[in-house]
Structure 1
Amino acid sequence: MRLAASYVPIFVARIGSGASAFLVVKLASGGAVEAGFVLAAYPFLEARGAFVAGRWSDTLGRKTTLIVGYVVRSIAMLALAWAFYTHEAPWLEAFLNGVIGFTTAFILTSSLAMATDLTEVRNRGLGMGGFEFINLGSYGVGYLLGSALYSVFQGPSAYLAVALFTTVATPIFAKYIQETRPAAPGEGRLLLSVLPPSAVALLPVWFALTTIIGLAMYSPRILRIEGGGLGVAEHIVQMLGGYLAIGLLFISALALLGLGAIFFGRLADKWGRVKTFRLGLIGGLLALVTLNIALRLNLGVVEAVAITAPLLFLASAIGPSILAMIGDEADIRYRGTVMGIYSVMLGLGIGFGSLLAGFVAAAFPQYEINGLAAAALGVYATMAALHLVVANLFAGKGGLALEKGVAPEKL
């Protein structure tokens, strides 16, 4: 029950994040590039916030850090709603969205540290899979909520509704969440000084995955799904409308990844972290190749994603296996700091992906979706190759730290 309770803050926060991701990219002032900068401010500042959040989580306590993040985040979201109503200034929107991202790192890092505290080696893969499921699933719910609100309000009122939801939900969960580890003043250290060596070879692939998320988050600004020419999807679009169809497509993809995270998290406990990771690595590459081919053949976005779905499911093995490997090796004294790497990679990748999407959309105004898919494949292939190079370097020095509770392997 305590493990399930540790997921509640992420559930609430990510609903707000998902809705905000859809609405910010629709409401941002300026053109394609400006919208990319406004959207990217959130993840880039989330990455920066993770360094602070990890240390606070260890030295001040998980719960204290989490509540501070929620309170400041709620204030910033209300301020951003006000900015959408009263200004058309991309720099102000980017600043406030950045503050929201910075404080979201406090919630994400603290919750992940709690989940790691409450699991052991024999079930950590499953616990991390559960965390990924809640993180992705609630983000998808929020994204669908954002698309629904925009369909109704068509303006800043949609974002104000999300900001009010976050503000009201904060005291509700804060009352029931329990601390999982006493504060340890004086033990805080910098992330890079306590990050397990095995994480280094994994970071390029993690960065690629989060970059692809950033590319996908930009898509509502350029994606147009209408009622004609979509084959099996035509009736769904006619019933729901274009914006809700986009939200439904997004939540379906995230739900698939979330369910896969639970399945492969358990597999990582039984079969091995590294083997599971490799399976996901291959699945991700094949999924992007298939997506690009489908779009090149002029299939609709819905059909292309549907064809890619089985391989996308395989790609979901990457997240929980990485989190389990890092969690196994993290020193309990600095666990909050170490697990802050999750927000760092999430923020850097999504931020880079958002900026890249803005430039791709500006460069290829008639082929934006194809351009985003090609960019995703290019980034993933490059980072996968870099991962193999770094892993081989480690192997030449005697390999990485062995997995705990499973057969020894080398990355």
Structure 2
Amino acid sequence: MRIAASYIPIFVARIGSGASAFLVVKLASGGNLEAGVVLASYPFLEAIGALIAGRWSDTLGRKKTLVIGYVVRSVAMLLLAWAFYTRGTPWLEALLNGVIGLTTAFILTSSLAMATDLTEVRNRGLGMGGFEFINLASYGVGYLLGSALYSALHGPSAYLVVALFTAAATPLFAKFLSETRPAAPEEGRLLFSVLPPSALALLPVWFALTSIIGMAMYAPRILRVGDASHGAVQHIVGRLGENLVVGLLFIGALALLGAGAIIFGRLADRWGRVKTFRLGLVGGLAALAVLNAALHTGLGPVEAIAVTAPLLFLTSAIGPSILALIGDEADIRYRGTVMGIYSVVLGLGIGVGSLLSGMVATVFHSSEINGIAAAALAVYASMTAVHIALSRTYNLAIRETAAIRAG
């Protein structure tokens, strides 16, 4: 029951984040490149916030760090809604969106540390899979909510609704959520000095995966589902509207990844962390290759993603296996600091993906989606090569931590 309660803050936060991601890219001032900058400010500042949040969650407390993050985040979201109403500059919008990302890291890192506190080696893969499911599924629900609000309200009012929801939800968990562990000594170390050795080899793959998420978040800016689709899909777009269909497409992909996170999290406990991670690594590479091939043959985005879905499902093995491996090896005194790496890489990856998408969309005027898909494959393949090179060059053996500790 306590492990389920630890998921509540991230559930509420990610609904707001998902809705915000859709609405910000639609409402941002300026052209494609400026929209990419506004969108990217959130994840980049989230990465910086994780460096602070991990430390605070250990020394100040998980719950206090969470509440601070939520209060400041709510204020920043209300100010961003005001900026959209007054048609502020892209730089003001980027600043406020960055503050929202910074404080979201407090929520994400503390919630993840709580979930890690409440699991043991024998069930940590499942616990991390549950965290990933809530993280992805609630983000998808928020994204669909954002698309629906934009379809209904057509402007800044849609973002104001999301900001008010976030502010109103804060007391729901601030009162009932309990602390999971005592504060660590103040002389604790910083994030990169307490990372387990295996993290260095694993993080390039995690960066690649989050970069692709950033590219997907940018897609509503340039995606024209109806123009590129045929038959039943075109009929659905005509009935529901393009914005809502994009939201449904996004939540469908995240629901698939979230369900896979639970299944592969349990597999990581039973079959092994490393084997599960490698299964996801190969699945991701195959998924992106098939997606590019499908788009190149003329399939629309919806049809191409449907063809790719089984391989996309395998990709969901990466997240829970990496989190379980790092969580197993983390020093319990500085677990919050170590788990902050999740938000650091998540923020950097999504930020790079958002900026890269803006650049690709600016260059490829008539084939933006094909260009972004090709960029995603290039990033993933290059980061996979870096992962392999690091493992071989520095002899970083990624151990089956669950088996070692169980024995």
1:383 aligned partner: 383
2:393 counterpart of 1:400: no
2:332 aligned partner: 332
Q: How far did 1:240 drift?
A: 1.3
Q: How far did 1:175 drift?
A: 1.1
Using the alignment, how far apart are the partners of 2:230 and 2:63 within structure 1?
48
Deviation string 1:201-241 (CA, Å, 9 cap, x unpaired) is 00110100000001110000000122784223223222211
User: What RMSD, in angstroms, separates the aligned Cα atoms of the two structures?
Assistant: 1.2
1:65 aligned partner: 65
1:100 aligned partner: 100
- The answer as to whether partners of 1:6 and 1:115 remain within 8 angstroms in 2 is yes
2:259 maps to a residue whose letter is L
Once the two structures are overlaid, the 10-residue window that deviates more, 179-188 or 63-72, is 179-188
- The answer as to whether partners of 1:187 and 1:334 remain within 8 angstroms in 2 is no
Give the SS at the match of 2:299.
coil
- The answer as to whether partners of 1:24 and 1:39 remain within 8 angstroms in 2 is yes
Deviation string 1:367-390 (CA, Å, 9 cap, x unpaired) is 000000000000000000110000
Deviation string 1:7-49 (CA, Å, 9 cap, x unpaired) is 0000000000000000000000000110000000000000000
1:301 aligned partner: 301
Q: How far did 1:391 drift?
A: 0.8
1:366 maps to a residue whose letter is S
Using the alignment, how far apart are the partners of 2:336 and 2:304 within structure 1?
39
2:354 aligned partner: 354
Using the alignment, how far apart are the partners of 2:259 and 2:159 within structure 1?
28
Using the alignment, how far apart are the partners of 1:279 and 1:21 within structure 2?
30
Task: Return the TM-score normalized by structure 1.
Answer: 0.97
Using the alignment, how far apart are the partners of 2:17 and 2:40 within structure 1?
13
Using the alignment, how far apart are the partners of 1:245 and 1:172 within structure 2?
31
Paired residues, number? 405
1:113 aligned partner: 113
Q: Given the superposition, is the C-alpha separation of residues 228 and 215 from structure 1 closer, same or farther in structure 2, using an over 3 Å criterion?
A: closer
Using the alignment, how far apart are the partners of 2:344 and 2:71 within structure 1?
21
1:61 maps to a residue whose letter is G
Using the alignment, how far apart are the partners of 1:407 and 1:337 within structure 2?
23
Using the alignment, how far apart are the partners of 1:88 and 1:225 within structure 2?
30
- The answer as to whether partners of 1:270 and 1:406 remain within 8 angstroms in 2 is no
2:169 aligned partner: 169
1:169 maps to a residue whose letter is A
1:138 aligned partner: 138
- The answer as to whether partners of 1:214 and 1:350 remain within 8 angstroms in 2 is yes
Structure 1 gaps, min length 5:
none
Using the alignment, how far apart are the partners of 2:327 and 2:65 within structure 1?
20
Moved over 6 A (4+): none
Give the SS at the match of 2:347.
helix
Using the alignment, how far apart are the partners of 1:227 and 1:245 within structure 2?
13
Give the SS at the match of 2:37.
helix
Using the alignment, how far apart are the partners of 2:175 and 2:334 within structure 1?
26
Q: How far did 1:363 drift?
A: 0.2
Deviation string 1:174-216 (CA, Å, 9 cap, x unpaired) is 1111100112241432101001110000011010000000111
Give the SS at the match of 1:406.
helix
1:216 aligned partner: 216
Structure 2 gaps, min length 5:
none
Using the alignment, how far apart are the partners of 1:174 and 1:360 within structure 2?
42
Give the SS at the match of 1:176.
coil
Q: Given the superposition, is the C-alpha separation of residues 369 and 186 from structure 1 closer, same or farther in structure 2, using an over 3 Å criterion?
A: same
2:45 counterpart of 1:48: no
Q: How far did 1:172 drift?
A: 1.0
1:122 maps to a residue whose letter is R
Task: Return the TM-score normalized by structure 2.
Answer: 0.98
- The answer as to whether partners of 1:187 and 1:333 remain within 8 angstroms in 2 is no
Q: How far did 1:119 drift?
A: 0.2
- The answer as to whether partners of 1:59 and 1:187 remain within 8 angstroms in 2 is no
Using the alignment, how far apart are the partners of 2:247 and 2:113 within structure 1?
30
- The answer as to whether partners of 2:273 and 2:402 remain within 8 angstroms in 1 is no
1:317 maps to a residue whose letter is A
2:126 counterpart of 1:126: yes
User: Superposition pairs for residues 221-370 of structure 1, below 5 Å?
Assistant: 221-226=221-226, 229-370=229-370
Give the SS at the match of 1:405.
helix
Using the alignment, how far apart are the partners of 1:108 and 1:229 within structure 2?
37
Using the alignment, how far apart are the partners of 2:243 and 2:68 within structure 1?
34
Deviation string 1:153-185 (CA, Å, 9 cap, x unpaired) is 110000000000000000012111110011224
- The answer as to whether partners of 2:208 and 2:379 remain within 8 angstroms in 1 is yes
1:3 aligned partner: 3
- The answer as to whether partners of 1:6 and 1:114 remain within 8 angstroms in 2 is yes
- The answer as to whether partners of 1:13 and 1:104 remain within 8 angstroms in 2 is yes
Using the alignment, how far apart are the partners of 2:303 and 2:45 within structure 1?
35
Using the alignment, how far apart are the partners of 2:320 and 2:265 within structure 1?
5
Using the alignment, how far apart are the partners of 1:339 and 1:173 within structure 2?
21
Deviation string 1:311-356 (CA, Å, 9 cap, x unpaired) is 0000100000000000000001100000000000000000000000
Using the alignment, how far apart are the partners of 1:164 and 1:188 within structure 2?
37
- The answer as to whether partners of 2:274 and 2:398 remain within 8 angstroms in 1 is no
Quote the sequence identity (%). Answer: 76
